[in-house]
């Protein structure tokens, strides 16, 4: 149906001049739905391809390989509370974050054995949990078609796909934040219209596409026949019919099992409100265990602005403040107490240095590295990068209709309002510092996907001629191309251009193992050893404090010297040792007190003669 016809039908409905014999009036409900088979196939492509890459992609420096070392050392020592690694030549206990994420990786390593796949499994499961949150709550409050589009739009993010296979804490934190915000939405929905039984008659904020129940709809419900409860149920049924294109006029909806739309208002449900309220506190507590107080801020900001804009302060009296606070403290306090007993300086260092000073003062922090400096407002670029494919979808429909996407009324709806405010508040908050990482904006990915999918549905754009076909074509093409593109980028980076990747080093190790003197010689990395050297070659690597390249040359005379092209340029002079391996950014030189046969040296000097160790 053309947009003019849709608008006319909606106008007739509002004026009460539509076909009264039909609950939809003149509204054409033919929708170009996403087939369930296509949805599950595309989701399977995302999951299976990510699992395969988790197995075969090597660890990357600096963060992923360092966190993998934590899990490896904790598994081997059996110590659940002390993530240790070699930092600048010294065995160090890491107190830069609570150890929950590392304990999760350790549990996977104990179950499945120490491997890249096991250390990455918690992040992968967190990604699946995020997708489940999106599916469950959007299906609950809209319909399964909208939920399917929201899930696939989340999967479209290249960085979401990447971090689903990284041994890092960020996606675990994101899952906790997403769970907390959706729990608060559940609390809000459970508190709706609790002041008056007749308040459910006002469905303006929740009618799809902004369609309002007319006087023709409402007046019969105010008659003497039937109870107030029956009247509300009757109106809700009519509202469901207006909003559910999947039930009427679309045989495809039966695959998803949609029978009614969940976008209708609901009455006050005190037990359900208490349940969601406690879940809100629990998810925030889990976020605090993963990355500290920042979880409170990132979960609380969208909630605060939603309550402020919609004047929902009265619902706060229904919050389970006592039970929720008890649950929060019961989770957080014992855990932090045990960690602080094991490491007395943990609370002071972690709370003050890692959560405040590193963001407020240049050149501060970190005992475990220096915060990366960028510029104020870089979070806006990060938001675009994280949500690039979804942002592109805004160009798929005519500009004259885009105003349907952005109306003030969208903030009144709990789902679109909270989704939009999550993206806006987190982006603005992190714009206040120049020392922000792109991973801090990861929670915007699922919520921007939810916002787009719900607005596409509620504004009627899914009924625009050709729009659904273009959307389906984009999702199918991109989700099939995404694993191929990502695998190509990773292969090019780790085998050719990056000194942060381990496969080239693995190729070098395989080559020098052919030498009979291998067992007595160590690996010496110029400048400072990468973290993956500890993960893969802990027994053979000679760890040392940071030093100049000249000092590395002197100190590695009896060892195999690993040096990058950048370090060789800074050295500014030729290295008077036999080159035994060269590929990508890495070169390996033999110990200076021994000779390597010319044939072997000549053979390995040509990069094309050394095959990657797959």
DSSP secondary structure of 182-245? HHHHHHHHHHTT-S-GGGGG--TTTSGGGPPPPHHHHGGGGSSSS-HHHHHHHHHHHHHHHH-T
Top pLDDT among 193 and 451 is at: 451
Q: Are residues 365 and 472 in the same domain?
A: yes
Q: Are residues 473 and 508 in the same domain?
A: no
Q: Are residues 465 and 602 in the same domain?
A: no
Whether 226 maps to a domain, the answer reads: no
Q: What is the pLDDT of residue 374?
A: 81
Q: Are residues 468 and 588 in the same domain?
A: no
Q: What is the pLDDT of residue 539?
A: 86
Picking from 422, 452, 486, the residue at the C-terminal end of a domain is: 486
The answer to whether 134 and 154 have CB atoms below 8 angstroms apart is yes
Strand partners, 579: 589
Choose the most confident range, by mean pLDDT, from 35-39, 140-144, 366-370, 442-446.
Answer: 442-446
Q: Are residues 408 and 321 in the same domain?
A: yes
Q: Is the pLDDT of residue 332 over 60?
A: yes
Q: Are residues 185 and 301 in the same domain?
A: yes
| 583, two tokens | 């590929």
Q: What is the pLDDT of residue 405?
A: 58
Q: How buried is 477 (Cβ within 10 angstroms: 0-12 exposed, 13-18 middle, 19+ buried)?
A: exposed
Q: What is the pLDDT of residue 33?
A: 64
Q: Is the pLDDT of residue 528 over 90?
A: no
Choose the most confident range, by mean pLDDT, from 498-507, 508-517, 600-609.
Answer: 508-517
Whether 401 maps to a domain, the answer reads: yes
Q: What is the mean pLDDT of the chain?
A: 77
Q: Can you say whether the dihedral through the CA atoms of 59, 383, 379, 409 is positive or negative?
A: negative
Question: Average of pLDDT values for 390-415?
Answer: 69
Whether 231 maps to a domain, the answer reads: no
Give the separation between CA 210 and CA 585, rounded to whole angstroms. Answer: 58
Question: Average of pLDDT values for 520-543?
Answer: 89
Of 577, 578, 574, 586, nearest in space to 610 by CA = 586
Residue 434: band (very low, low, confident or very high) from pLDDT cuts 50, 70, 90: confident
The answer to whether 434 and 374 have CB atoms below 8 angstroms apart is yes
Top pLDDT among 356 and 140 is at: 140
Q: Are residues 75 and 178 in the same domain?
A: yes
Give the separation between CA 208 and CA 509, rounded to whole angstroms. Answer: 62
Top pLDDT among 227 and 557 is at: 557
The answer to whether 262 and 139 have CB atoms below 8 angstroms apart is yes
**Could you read off the pLDDT of 338-360 as tens digits, one per residue?**
988 888 888 888 888 777 777 77
Picking from 486, 520, 535, the residue at the C-terminal end of a domain is: 486
Question: What are φ and ψ of residue 591, in 5° steps?
Answer: -55, 145
**Could you read off the pLDDT of 561-611 as tens digits, one per residue?**
999 888 898 888 888 888 888 887 888 998 886 444 443 444 344 333 333
In order of 80, 124, 126, 173, the CA distances from 72 in angstroms are 11, 18, 20, 21
Give the separation between CA 500 and CA 493, rounded to whole angstroms. Answer: 9
The answer to whether 401 and 463 have CB atoms below 8 angstroms apart is no
Whether 223 maps to a domain, the answer reads: no
**Could you read off the pLDDT of 32-74 as tens digits, one per residue?**
467 788 899 999 999 999 999 999 888 887 889 999 999 999 9
Choose the most confident range, by mean pLDDT, from 23-32, 80-89, 242-251.
Answer: 80-89
Top pLDDT among 364 and 205 is at: 364
Q: Is the pLDDT of residue 337 over 90?
A: yes
Query: Which residue carries 């606070």 as its tokens?
Result: 325
Residue 433: band (very low, low, confident or very high) from pLDDT cuts 50, 70, 90: confident
Of 184, 173, 193, nearest in space to 275 by CA = 184
Q: Is the pLDDT of residue 101 over 60?
A: yes
Q: Can you say whether the dihedral through the CA atoms of 501, 503, 508, 509 is positive or negative?
A: positive
**Could you read off the pLDDT of 459-497 as tens digits, one per residue?**
777 777 677 888 889 999 999 999 999 988 887 776 665
Q: How many domains does the chain have?
A: 2
Residue 383: band (very low, low, confident or very high) from pLDDT cuts 50, 70, 90: very high
- Per cent of the chain over pLDDT 90 is 41
- Per cent of the chain over pLDDT 70 is 71
Whether 161 maps to a domain, the answer reads: yes
Q: Are residues 316 and 431 in the same domain?
A: yes
Q: Is the pLDDT of residue 205 over 50?
A: no
CA–centroid distance for 429 within its chain = 18
| 62, two tokens | 């600096």
Q: Is the pLDDT of residue 395 over 80?
A: no
Q: Is the pLDDT of residue 168 over 80?
A: yes
**Could you read off the pLDDT of 265-314 as tens digits, one per residue?**
445 678 889 999 999 999 999 999 999 999 999 999 999 999 999 899 98
Question: Rounded to a whole number, what is the distance in angstroms from the first to the last CA of the chain?
Answer: 53
Q: Is the pLDDT of residue 447 over 90?
A: yes
The answer to whether 93 and 82 have CB atoms below 8 angstroms apart is yes
Q: Are residues 286 and 366 in the same domain?
A: yes
Top pLDDT among 204 and 513 is at: 513
Top pLDDT among 268 and 185 is at: 185
Give the separation between CA 321 and CA 256, rounded to whole angstroms. Answer: 37
The answer to whether 154 and 446 have CB atoms below 8 angstroms apart is yes
Give the separation between CA 587 and CA 606, rounded to whole angstroms. Answer: 11
Q: Note the pTM of the prediction, 2 decimals.
A: 0.80
Residue 369: band (very low, low, confident or very high) from pLDDT cuts 50, 70, 90: low
Whether 497 maps to a domain, the answer reads: no
Q: What is the pLDDT of residue 499?
A: 61
Whether 13 maps to a domain, the answer reads: no
Residue 223: band (very low, low, confident or very high) from pLDDT cuts 50, 70, 90: very low
The answer to whether 531 and 85 have CB atoms below 8 angstroms apart is yes
Picking from 426, 452, 486, the residue at the C-terminal end of a domain is: 486
Q: Are residues 328 and 473 in the same domain?
A: yes
Give the separation between CA 497 and CA 124, rounded to whole angstroms. Answer: 26
Q: What is the pLDDT of residue 121?
A: 97
**Could you read off the pLDDT of 561-570 as tens digits, one per residue?**
999 888 898 8
Whether 38 maps to a domain, the answer reads: no
Q: Is the pLDDT of residue 328 over 90?
A: yes
| DSSP three-state, residue 580 | strand
Q: Which structural domain, as residue segments, surrounds residue 109?
A: 60-192+269-486
Q: Are residues 476 and 427 in the same domain?
A: yes
Q: Are residues 428 and 561 in the same domain?
A: no
Residues 6+ apart with CB under 8 A from 36: 148, 252, 255, 256
């Amino acid at each position: 149906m053309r947009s003019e016809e849709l608008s006319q039908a909606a106008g007739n409905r509002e004026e009460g001049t539509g076909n009264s014999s039909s609950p939809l009036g003149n509204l054409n409900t033919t929708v170009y739905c996403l087939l369930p088979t296509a949805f599950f196939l595309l989701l399977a492509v995302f999951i299976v391809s990510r699992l395969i890459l988790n197995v075969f992609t090597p660890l990357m420096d600096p963060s992923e390989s360092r966190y993998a070392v934590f899990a490896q050392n904790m598994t081997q020592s059996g110590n659940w509370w002390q993530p240790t690694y070699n930092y600048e030549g010294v065995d160090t206990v890491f107190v830069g974050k609570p150890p929950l994420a590392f304990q999760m990786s350790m549990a996977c390593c104990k179950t499945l054995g120490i491997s890249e796949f096991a250390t990455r499994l918690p992040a992968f499961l967190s990604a699946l949990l995020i997708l489940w949150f999106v599916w469950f709550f959007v299906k609950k409050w809209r319909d399964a078609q909208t939920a399917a589009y929201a899930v696939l739009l989340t999967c479209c993010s290249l960085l979401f796909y990447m971090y689903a296979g990284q041994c890092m804490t960020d996606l675990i934190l994101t899952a906790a934040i997403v769970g907390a915000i959706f729990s608060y939405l559940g609390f809000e929905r459970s508190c709706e219209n609790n002041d008056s039984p007749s308040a459910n008659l006002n469905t303006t904020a929740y009618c799809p596409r902004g369609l309002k129940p007319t006087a023709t709809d409402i007046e019969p419900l105010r008659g003497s026949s039937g109870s107030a409860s029956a009247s509300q149920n009757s109106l809700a049924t009519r509202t469901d019919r207006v909003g559910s294109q999947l039930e009427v006029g679309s045989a495809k909806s039966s695959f998803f099992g949609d029978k009614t739309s969940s976008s209708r208002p609901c009455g006050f449900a005190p037990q359900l409100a208490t349940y969601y309220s406690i879940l809100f506190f629990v998810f925030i507590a889990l976020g605090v265990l993963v990355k500290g107080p920042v979880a409170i801020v990132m979960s609380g900001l969208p909630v605060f602005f939603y309550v402020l804009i919609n004047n929902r302060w009265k619902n706060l009296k229904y919050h389970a403040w006592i039970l929720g606070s008890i649950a929060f403290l019961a989770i957080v306090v014992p855990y932090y107490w045990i960690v602080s007993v094991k490491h007395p300086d943990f609370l002071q260092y972690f709370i003050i240095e890692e959560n405040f000073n590193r963001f407020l003062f240049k050149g501060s922090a970190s005992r475990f590295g220096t915060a990366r400096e960028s510029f104020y407002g870089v979070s806006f670029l990060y938001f675009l990068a994280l949500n690039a494919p979804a942002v592109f979808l805004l160009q798929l429909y005519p500009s004259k209709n885009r105003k349907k996407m952005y109306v003030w009324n969208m903030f009144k709806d709990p789902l679109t309002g909270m989704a939009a405010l999550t993206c806006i508040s987190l982006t603005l908050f992190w714009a206040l510092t120049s020392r922000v990482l792109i991973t801090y904006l990861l929670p915007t990915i699922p919520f921007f996907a939810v916002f787009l999918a719900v607005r596409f549905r509620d504004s009627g754009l899914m009924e625009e001629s050709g729009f659904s076909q273009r959307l389906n074509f984009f999702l199918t093409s991109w989700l099939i191309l995404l694993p191929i593109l990502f695998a190509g980028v990773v292969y090019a980076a780790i085998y050719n251009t990056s000194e942060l990747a381990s496969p080239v080093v693995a190729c070098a190790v395989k080559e020098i193992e052919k030498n009979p003197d291998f067992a007595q010689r160590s690996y010496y990395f110029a400048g400072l050893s990468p973290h993956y050297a500890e993960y893969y070659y802990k027994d053979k690597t000679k760890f040392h404090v940071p030093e100049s390249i000249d000092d590395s040359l002197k100190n590695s005379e009896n060892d195999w010297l690993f040096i990058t092209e950048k370090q060789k340029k800074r050295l500014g002079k030729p290295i008077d040792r036999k080159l035994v391996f060269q590929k990508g950014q890495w070169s390996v030189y033999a110990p200076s007190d021994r000779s390597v046969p010319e044939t072997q040296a000549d053979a390995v000097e040509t990069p094309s003669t050394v095959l990657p160790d797959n």
